[in-house]
Each structure stands twice: as C-alpha cells, then as structure tokens.
Structure 1
Amino acid sequence: MMYFKSLYVLTLMAVVTFVHSETVELEKEQQLTDYPVTIVAVGPPYDGSNNCTVQFYHPSRDAWTTLAEIELNVYNDYSTIISNGKLYIFGGKKNEEEQSDEVISFDLATKEIKKLTPMGQKKKNVGVAKLGEYIYVTGGNVETYHKIGTVERYDPKTDSWSGMAPMLSERCDHASNVYEGKLYVAGGTDESSDAMKSMEIYDPTLNKWTLGTPMNQARSDFSIVFVDGGLFALGGPEKLNADDVFGERFDLNTKQWKHFRNPFEDTMWLSGVVLDDMIFISGSKNNFKYNTKTNEMVKINPNNRFAPNFLLWSTS
C-alpha cells in the first residue's frame, strides 16, 4: 500500500433493473454498505487545508460523490489503509518541521471518528499494508529528513502496537502490498533522498525480511499492485519531473522484472487498486482505468483532489 497523498472512493454498483428518478438513484448510490465492493480514498484539497476528503465513484455515471470531510491535525504525507470497514490514517506532516504519531479511524458506514493509540514514533510517508488481521506500518521519515526501517504492527481489535523485525534498509515514500501471506515493500527514498531499486519481502510466520529481486529503475512515490500473475510497479520517477518513465512488471514465477511502456500522463504519486483484472489508478492530475493485458488506458472523471490514494473496501 502506498502512503497517502490523498483519498477518494470508487463504488461498484449492482445493475438496476428498473429506472428510478435521478434523486432516488443518487440516494441509493450514496448508501455504500448496499454494495459489495468499493474503491475508497482519503486526502486534502489543493488549498493545503487540514481537511481530508472521502469520496466514492459512480461507474455508471462517471461521477464522484463526497462521503465526508475529516478534519486532521496534519495536512499532508499521512498514510491510509482500510480494515473491516474502517479507514485508518497514520502520522503525517503537521508543519515543515514536525511530524505526527497520531492514528485515527473513520467508520465508513457510521462516519464515526476515533482517536487511537499513537505509533511509537512521530513520522510521515510510511508504508501501510493489511496482512491477516494486522496492519503493518513500515519505514518513514522522522525529524526532518531522517529515514527509518522500523516496522510496527497494529492490532485493530485491541488498539495496540507491537514492534516487529526492522526492514533491511531504511526508506520512506515506498510502495507496499500483500500477496499470498507475505508483505512486499519496494523502492522509496534512502537517507540521501535518492530513489531506491530494492525490494524486500516479509514473512510474518518467521518475523523475517529477505531481499527480493531489485527493480530495473529506482522509484519513489509510486504504487505496486498484484494482477495477472505479476506485480506491477506504477510510476515513481527516479528524479522529480522525470520524463519517459516506464512501468515494470515482476513475474512471480521467474522472479524477474521487465519494463512495459507506461502510458500514464502522470508519473508521480500514483496509487492503484485491482478490480476485475483492471487497475484503477489515481495520479496527481488524472484518474485512469488500465487493462494490463492490452496496455490500454481509459481516463475516468477527475475528482479535483491532489493525488488521491485508491483503496478497496469489501462491505460484505
């Protein structure tokens, strides 16, 4: 899961047999718990305020609806994940010099907000991923630019934290995701603020990290998703405003990375989720739907938020 730059909600709706009035249809679409799967995300508006907007997407109308505005004590660089119908927000930037250790939950059905047990350190730009019943928070920035390899495991049932084996490298702005019971972490920036190629794989049964095959290109502020037998690295230029950025696909059988032509107009702060073998992608300017088999990209309606982080929520 990639750390947040913002958040929005895509909803997959059942086919409606009878056509009702537009008002009734909208009311039904706004009842998120009526639908089996939604794509959720959180993030600030362009004005730099501390409000975090939660939106969801109507595929049939290619339109967005705002579910909530959450007021935070941070304005950027926080990280988000969904677990059991709740959106969790970790850390972030209070100002240019101060990070946050705060953790907040937002119930997507009831809209209840709770302040939870804080993390062990004040930090921003962490990686977050759900593995089993736990949420793993990896790496991040502490102080101003100091990177860490710390791993903390959060238990939503007990609202408690446990320290786990640290990563092999300190990093922030990295991508993380879970596949077949293991946590994959890739890229990010190191202590010198240089982008990284390395990938690490965590086995929770052994509480141990091992090195995976490094990517061909150093990346940060990007996303990794599993689909079609591979791990896709989406965007993440080695240097700011880099041109001609390629995506990469990691073959889970051969353990090798191969470039594929990246058709994205955006290359930084990409976030992706997989639904029906399609990758729904948010960027700093545009949102897309990507077919990995045909390498075909279709734009979807933008939501006027800065680089939303797309997340999946199963409501059933």
Structure 2
Amino acid sequence: MNKWMSSEYISTMSRLADIYKDSKLTNIQFRGDVGTVYALLCKADAWGINPDYMLGQSYIDNFGRIDHTGSIYRLALANANEVDKVTIEQCGDWDKVKGQFSVVTSDQHRDERLYRKLWSDDIERELSVTITVKFIDPHRNTVKSCRTLCSVDDSIKGLDHTWITSPRKRLESMIVRDLCHNELYDLVHGINAEDAEAEMGGYMGQFAAAASPTLNTIPNTTTTECVTQSLREEASTPDTSVKADNHKDTGQRDLLDRAMSIQDKAIKAQIDNDSESLTAQKKHLVALTEEALNNTALSNGVKDKLKKIYEETATIVIDDGTSILEDI
C-alpha cells in the first residue's frame, strides 16, 4: 500500500504537525495551520530534508501557493535517488559586488528602505554561476545551466533587494529554482512513495544527510562560454517591499521602529560578515513579530508591515560562497 495512505504514517505525521504548528521554527505564515504543516512535513520526508528547515524555508507566494527557497530545492536535487552529484561553479571576481551596497530611507516614506548597489553594471558581465546535475545512470544526459548576473533584467532585480545584498546567492537560487520548476520538474516533484520509503527507512525514520552541492570557483575564466538562456522570473518571488502607511498611534509607530532597528542591525551584521550577530538579530525579530501578531490591539496594517519586515530580514544572509544551509 502507498505509504501516504497508511494509517500509521498519517497518525505519525499528524502528531508531528500538531507539534510543529506553533513552533518558532515554523514560518509565521504557517503557524496554526495544521493542514499546511502536515503537507510540508510529508514533502520533507519525501525529499529527505530536515523538517525544521523545510518549515522555515517555505512560504506562500504572491498567488497564495506554497513554494520553497532555492536552498530547499538544492537539497531536494542533491538527495534525489537518480542524482549522482550537483556541482555549483562561479566565474568572475564576485568580491567586487560582495557587500557593495548602501541602505537609505525613502524621502517620501519613513517605512520604506531603499537598497542601492555601489558597483557598475559592466562588472556584472563577468560574473556568472553554473549548476551541473550529473546522474547515476551513465546514459542519462548531464543537465547544465549557466547564467550571468547581467542577464537578469533590472525589472526582475527590482522585485527583490537580495539581488543587491547577496547577488551570487540570489542568482544561484534563481537557476536551481528554474531547473526544478522546468527541466527537472518530474525528478523533483514526481516522488515515488514506495521508493522513497525504502530509500529513507520508512516513516520519518532517518533523514538522509544532504549531499551538499560542490561549489567551485573558476579562476581567470570569462563567461563567454556561458550560454545565457531567456530568463523567466518565477511568479512566486516573495514580495519583500515594505510600503508606507500612516500610523497615528505612537505605540504602533514605536513597534515598527523597533523592527526596522533590528533590520538595520541585521544588515550591518551582513556587511561585517558577522554570522553570530545576524543570527541574534533574526531571533530578536522573530520574538518581536510573534508578540505583535498575537496583540489584538494592533491594526492589520501594522501587522502586515511587520510581516513584510520579517520576510525581508529573513532573506539577509552571509554570502560567503558556501551556498548551503547558512540561512536561519
């Protein structure tokens, strides 16, 4: 019998979902939603991903659908039974854009942060990322996708500030998400439940250790051999903009100021390459946001703003080139 229909499996996953539904490890968007948490736990089981990471790195996109960060898809690819190795290569001197940005407050709206890059567009022509997926079956063609930073349209980059704060990681994320949503869709989403159970040892038994993709830096290499494909930004890119709104209540204003102050410290930690401080600031923001969302006196507008700040800060990472599991 398909294990997804097993009463024992359903009972186990239901108990786990009930435990995780109020956990701070779970994305705020899913807290209290047992059904969605249950579905994500089943997917974590099928993909061999730690449930903590799956519940923290999944989100609801702009169309109300469940999607995952590039880190989740990288792990899903690395853990796929048919995949032998996932290799990530970067070309060019990415240090020229690492940490090269400034953050300013909008002249029109206090609550809107603007991210400005401090490098020239010409530099982006020499920066690229290539992801290669090699299969165990020697007769199956290797899948390879390469894109340069300059090939991403400015209108797409404008949707997400991480194109400025963590450009290499963001480009890598776009490539792997595009592969998993298109060319390798069946490999990632077409889970054979019986094979998955046999491979992973049954009901949430042992999560397979993530076969971390290899990151190679190619010295003195141009990107002329990188065939840039026509880019199609996924419609599910999280909306991280924080729009302005007038708040007359000083208490609510103070709450927003505290959240934005934490965000400022997180950005500074990223610039200073201080992962310990960044982790601490993210934990502070989680506690503040959770407290605010449980406050019935707060207006929905303020709660929405806090969610935006929370989601935006969650994307701030130390872009050290390792690319795997450095997110909170």
Query: TM-score scaled by structure 1?
Result: 0.25
Point out the structure with the larger helix share: 2
Query: TM-score scaled by structure 2?
Result: 0.25
Task: Find the structure with the greater CA-based Rg.
Answer: 2
Point out the structure with the larger strand share: 1
Q: Relative contact order, CA 8 A, sep 6+: which one is greater?
A: 2
